[in-house]
Structure formats: C-alpha cells, structure tokens
C-alpha cells in the first residue's frame, strides 16, 4: 500500500490507527510504518505499557519526534515519508513538512473500512447489547425521570450485558430537546405527553455501535405520528440503497429525497449516516456527494431525522453491515 503511493513510510498519529496497527491504545503516540520496520515514539511515561502490549515494534522513548525522525531517515534511507495531515496538529505538521515529509491521505483507511470476522463478531455483539438495553429501557420510562437518569440507566444495562464501555456520550432528550440533534443530557424532567429520544451505543472491546430510537410518552399527537412515519420510511428508503457497488452519496440521496418530497427537507440538518468501527464516526461517509463505494463487510449507520425547533425531533438510526446482496441490521432487538 505504501508502494502504491510511492512512499517509503507513513507517520500515523490517530489513536484508532495506532490501535489497529499495534494493538495498543493511547493518546500521545506517533507510529512510523516502513518496509524496514515499525517504530513507536513515546514518552517514558508510556514506554513500559507499550513494551508489554506490542510485539515486533521498535520503541523510541522520550526524544523529540523531529530529531529522532531525522536520525531514522538518515540511517534507513527513508526518503519519501507521508504524514496524516488530518490528525496531526499544525505546529507538529509544519515542522514535519519543513523536514520534507508529505501530507498524504491516510493509507489505513482502505484497510479499516472493511471488517474481518473477528471485528464483525465484536461489532455484532455491540449492536445486540445496544438494541437489547434500549428495548429494556423503553417500557421503564416514567414521568419524573431526568435525561441524565435515563442515560445512566441505559449505560448500566450496557455494563450488565457485558459491554466494555459506552461507545460515545449517550444522548437522552425529552420534549423540545429532541429537536437538538447533539443534545447533552440535562436534569430536564420527562412529563406526560412529550417526545423522548435515545441516541446510544456501547463498545465491545474497541468496536462500537450506534442506535437511535424516538417515541412519544403519552397520547401521540397527529403531528408527531406523521413526522415519525416520514422518518421511518426515509430510513427504509436508505436501507434499500445499501448494497455493494452503491456510493455513500446514493444512500444519503435515498433517505434525503424521501424527506424532501414530504416537504421536510430543511428540517433534516445532518448527513444520513457514517461508518462505525474503532471510531464512532469513520468511513464510509453516508452524506451528500460521498463517493465512498460500499462493499461487503463495511459497517454504517442510516439515521435520517426531522427536527422542528421548539417542538420535537424524530431520528431513527440503526447500524448495518453491508452484505453481498444488500444489508444486515446489527441493532435489531431480539423480538423486533
């Protein structure tokens, strides 16, 4: 893959990239991959942990990145080195560019985007735990519960069911808060006749899942019912566009087109989905004009939404696997 890009090596800095490459997860590391070996640059603080958790990797401890890189390049005749300009901060990147390193698209993306059997096993388990915890939660929702309480109840279910951790900061929203796509749970209390939205996911090992359910607590008004029906159909339209060879943009178009035709286009303020894996947001991108081509064993979400400010929002989201002919839903509850 490096040869394809005519590179002698590539400098990684992303936590998930380095985890994927070495099995060790931490902030503050750099990892240089070349045909002549793999080096991790670390502080003394982490050196012992890196040593214990990795194999076949050389360690450079407690030295300035730019200085030790220069030495390595001279010693091993590494001429063309790329670096990850999307994940390295400007100050460091500018010093690397001055040394002649090249800002280059991340070559791991193409590997990480398709999941192998072991990764799929963890992703499936994460999907099942997420779906079953939300299934457990919904009938237990009561007036008087706060958003923070509900988010914690779901998290505790994740843990009881064997998840390693939450997959991202869990969202629980009531009433008008459901109209804010990235709401943080507050002490707001659920009242009778309000919308409720959960956007939650767990981690199993380092692999994540992502699920959103919206429902109405009380007597469902016609306005909510209509919007819910549109979002549900828009999600199905998105599902049907998921298959090998289709582009991310086509899935987005399918869901978005449905919502636009129903007259709610301007209330669907985000992309239709995203890939899921070591990161909660990763390729393939399911958004307007995305050229990412879907293939078997890619994982992605389909999550259209309609948000009516000050009133309510509806989002329905599942995590899917691309199969040889279409899709498999990983976040389907057992009895759904």
Q: In sequence order, what are the residues at sequence separation of 6 or more whose Cβ sits closer than 8 angstroms to the Cβ of residue 301?
A: 210, 273, 274, 276, 286, 317, 318, 319, 320
Q: Does 92 bind a copy of itself (CB under 8 A)?
A: yes
Among 182, 219, 291, 334, indicate the residue that binds a copy of itself (CB under 8 A). 182
Among 75, 89, 245, 324, indicate the residue that binds a copy of itself (CB under 8 A). 89
CA dist list (Å): 126 to 121, 135, 159, 207, 283: 9, 14, 11, 7, 18
- Among 55, 57, 14, 61, which residue's Cα sits nearest to residue 34? 57
Three-class DSSP category at 321 = strand
The residues with which 40 forms a beta bridge, in sequence order, are 31, 59
The residues with which 217 forms a beta bridge, in sequence order, are 194
Q: Does 46 bind a copy of itself (CB under 8 A)?
A: yes
C-alpha span between 248 and 20 (Å, rounded): 24
Q: Does 159 bind a copy of itself (CB under 8 A)?
A: yes
Q: Does 59 bind a copy of itself (CB under 8 A)?
A: no
Provide the b/e sequence for 41-79 (b: ≥16 CB within 10 Å): bbeeebeeebeeebeebeebbeeebeebbeebbeebebe
C-alpha span between 114 and 50 (Å, rounded): 26
Q: How far is the CB of 296 from a copy of itself (least distance, A)?
A: 30
Q: Does 288 bind a copy of itself (CB under 8 A)?
A: no
Among 2, 19, 36, 47, indicate the residue that binds a copy of itself (CB under 8 A). 47
- Helix (H) or strand (E) holding 194, with range, is strand 194-200
Q: Could you tell me if 211 and 201 are in contact, meaning their C-beta atoms sit under 8 angstroms apart? A: yes
Nearer of residues 200 and 330 to a copy of itself, judged by Cβ: 200
DSSP letter assigned to residue 6: T
Residue 250 token pair: 């086509």
Q: Does 55 bind a copy of itself (CB under 8 A)?
A: no
| Terminal-residue alpha carbon distance, the chain | 42
x-or-dash string of contact with a copy of itself, 303-322, rule CB under 8 A: ----x-x-------------
Q: How far is the CB of 47 from a copy of itself (least distance, A)?
A: 7
Among 11, 88, 202, 298, indicate the residue that binds a copy of itself (CB under 8 A). 88
Q: Does 86 bind a copy of itself (CB under 8 A)?
A: yes
x-or-dash string of contact with a copy of itself, 106-135, rule CB under 8 A: ------------------------------
Residue 213 burial (CB count, 10 A): 21
Q: How far is the CB of 172 from a copy of itself (least distance, A)?
A: 14
x-or-dash string of contact with a copy of itself, 7-36, rule CB under 8 A: ------------------xx----------
Among 94, 110, 111, 138, indicate the residue that binds a copy of itself (CB under 8 A). 94
Q: Does 67 bind a copy of itself (CB under 8 A)?
A: no
Q: How far is the CB of 315 from a copy of itself (least distance, A)?
A: 11
The residues with which 293 forms a beta bridge, in sequence order, are 247
Q: Does 152 bind a copy of itself (CB under 8 A)?
A: yes
Radius of gyration in angstroms for the set of CA atoms belonging to the chain, rounded to a whole number: 22
Q: How far is the CB of 98 from a copy of itself (least distance, A)?
A: 12
Query: Near a copy of itself by CB under 8 A, which window of 89-97, 123-131, 220-228, 246-254?
Result: 89-97
Among 1, 45, 67, 111, indicate the residue that binds a copy of itself (CB under 8 A). 45
Question: Which residues lie near a copy of itself (CB under 8 A)?
Answer: 25-26, 43-49, 52, 83, 85-94, 97, 103, 152, 159, 179-184, 269-270, 307, 309
């Amino acid at each position: 893959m490096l040869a394809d890009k005519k590179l002698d090596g590539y400098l990684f800095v992303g936590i998930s990239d380095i985890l994927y490459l070495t099995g060790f997860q931490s902030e503050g590391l750099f990892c240089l991959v070349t045909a002549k070996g793999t080096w991790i640059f670390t502080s003394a603080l982490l050196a012992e942990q890196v040593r214990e958790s990795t194999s076949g990797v050389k360690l450079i401890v407690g030295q300035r990145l730019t200085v030790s890189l220069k030495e390595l390049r001279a010693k091993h005749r590494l001429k063309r080195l790329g670096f990850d300009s999307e994940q390295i901060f400007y100050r460091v990147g500018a010093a690397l560019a001055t040394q002649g390193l090249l800002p280059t698209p991340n070559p791991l993306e193409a590997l990480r985007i398709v999941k192998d059997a072991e990764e799929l096993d963890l992703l499936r388990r994460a999907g099942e735990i997420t779906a079953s915890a939300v299934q457990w939660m919904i009938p237990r929702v009561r007036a008087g519960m706060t958003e923070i309480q509900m988010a914690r109840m779901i998290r505790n279910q994740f843990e009881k069911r064997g998840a390693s951790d939450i997959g991202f900061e869990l969202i629980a929203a009531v009433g008008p808060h459901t109209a804010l796509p990235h709401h943080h749970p507050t002490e707001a209390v659920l009242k009778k006749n309000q919308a409720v939205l959960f956007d939650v996911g767990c981690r199993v090992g380092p692999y994540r899942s992502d699920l959103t359910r919206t429902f109405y607590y009380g007597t469902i008004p016609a306005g909510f019912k209509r919007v819910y029906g549109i979002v549900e159909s828009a999600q199905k339209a998105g599902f049907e566009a998921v298959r090998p060879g289709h582009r991310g943009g086509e899935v987005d178009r399918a869901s978005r087109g449905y919502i636009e035709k129903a007259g709610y286009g301007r209330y669907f303020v985000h992309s239709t989905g995203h890939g899921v894996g070591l990161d909660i947001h990763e390729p393939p991108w399911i958004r307007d004009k995305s050229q990412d081509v879907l293939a078997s064993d890619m994982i992605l979400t389909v999550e259209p939404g309609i948000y009516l400010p000050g009133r309510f929002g509806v989002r329905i989201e599942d995590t899917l696997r691309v199969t040889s002919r279409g899709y498999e839903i990983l976040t389907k509850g057992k009895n759904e």
